[in-house]
Amino acid sequence: MRHRAVILVLDGVGVGAAPDAAAYGDVGSDTLGNLARNRGGLSLPNLEALGLGNVAPIEGVSPSVAPQAAWGRMCPASAGKDSTAGHWEIAGLHLARPFPTYPNGFPLDVIDAFIAATGRGVLGNVPASGTEIVDRFGAEQERTGEWIVYTSADSVFQLAANEAIIPLAELYRACEIARDMLVAPHDVSRVIARPFAGTAGSYERTANRRDYSLAPPGETLLDALAGAGVPRAGVGKVDDLFAGRGIRSRHTADNAEGIRGIMEWLSGAQGGLLFANLVDFDTLYGHRGDAAGFERALRQFDDALPAIRAALKEDDLLFITADHGNDPTTGSSDHARECVPLLVAGPPVRTVPLGVRETFSDLGATVGEWLNVPFRGHGQSFLPALERGA
């Protein structure tokens, strides 16, 4: 039987401030720990059985005397605290500096160049949530036909357009123009098309979002697997984060659809790697400070976990982790520089402690070894500790 591996990223589900959190303004951030205290404890029996309570102190999630998975946590070594940096680090690539962010909007020379290249003016150019910015400028866009440009605490250039005012094809082309323009020192992680529909007072985002990411500046696990002819599949935004290089993803509307996609891949006959991202924790709840919603999303995933584990085949490894923190209790809408959980389940796994790993790249190195490619990136494989009979 061919070896298979699943990297399942719970986007934003950190387990405590990283050693260098002070440099990022994130002292005290602890997504799961603070969430549990805020909610009077968390009930996650299936994650508890795997050993989540052994990874970090989480009220309501007890340490297990006999965890059903190998467990540990990983600390970020790459610069930055966004999804792109986190996923690239998992795949073995480190950044020397964080992607730039724009708390005061983009410089005028950037905006002027974008206006000249696209032939439309710009509204906004401020940090904002997607719903807030559309409510604020949607009617003016209807009158003027100008772009709505906004950013956030992440390294993003977001372009919102009413599909009835600016055709999707033009919106996508404008994002491609912005992507080509935004190079160092303004090399934002992602340019995002944010189409919406409706009229003033009833605007709604459509499902036609597209992300335009920077290409990884070096070799990743996905490149190595592609070179070796090992199949790669994605669920969620993973292909966007790697600029489509080495992987194609099934894009999903929410965690429920993402879980269905994971289950379908596990039930199939294909080998290789599934790289999945469940984004609701981050997008819907962490950024919006919604602790109750974050807890509901964790329960939803916990409820799905037995079926996911039951679908694992004889030579499957399941890695459950995260890419950064996004603590919904701090009053900040930003990501947090946190360590992330590491749970490894599957028939071949010895349920051993994996300790505190110095980089997320140890996960990618382990997957590389499991799938028989020499790539280790910036990581060290812990596969020898993991395998039964080792």
pLDDT tens by residue, 257-286: 999 999 999 999 989 999 999 999 998 999
Report the pLDDT value the prediction gives residue 131, as an integer from 0 to 100. 84
Close Cβ partners of 141 (under 8 Å, ≥ 6 residues apart): 123, 147, 148, 160, 161, 162, 165, 166
- pTM (two decimals): 0.93
Q: If you compute the radius of gyration of the chain from its CA atoms, what whole number of angstroms results?
A: 21
Q: For residue 345, is pLDDT > 60?
A: yes
**Two tokens at 98?**
């964080």
pLDDT at 297 over 70: yes
What is the per-residue pLDDT for 157? 97
Beta bridge partners of 341: 73
What is the per-residue pLDDT for 154? 85
The band of 390, judged by pLDDT with boundaries at 50, 70 and 90, is low
pLDDT in tens, 365-389: 999 999 999 999 999 999 999 987 5
The predicted model gives 294-317 an average pLDDT of 98
- pLDDT category, 2, cuts 50, 70, 90? confident
Share of the chain above pLDDT 70, in %: 99
Q: Where in the chain is the domain with CATH 3.30.70.1250?
A: 108-213
Lowest mean pLDDT of 52-61, 125-134, 243-252, name the range.
125-134
Cα separation, 2 vs 13, in Å, equals 31
Range(s) of the chain covered by CATH 3.40.720.10: 4-98+214-386
- Residues pairing with 316 in the sheet: 4
pLDDT of 347 above 70: yes
Each residue's pLDDT tens digit, 104-134? 999 999 999 999 999 999 999 999 988 889 9
Mean pLDDT across 59-65: 97
Q: What is the mean predicted confidence (pLDDT) over 144-157?
A: 94
Specify the CATH architecture of the domain 108-213. 2-Layer Sandwich (3.30)
Mean pLDDT of the region 222-245: 96
Give me the CATH topology for the region 4-98+214-386.
Answer: Alkaline Phosphatase, subunit A (3.40.720)
pLDDT band, very low/low/confident/very high, at 92 (cuts 50, 70, 90): very high
- What integer is the mean pLDDT of 41-67? 98
Closest CA to 221 of 246, 203, 201, 186: 246
Q: How would you class 27 by CB atoms within 10 Å of its CB: exposed for 0-12, middle for 13-18, buried for 19 or more?
A: exposed
Name the least confident of 57-66, 150-159, 315-324: 150-159
- Spatial separation of the C-alpha atoms in residues 308 and 47, rounded to whole Å: 12
Residues 57, 312, 246: CA angle, nearest 5 degrees: 90
pLDDT at 1 over 60: no
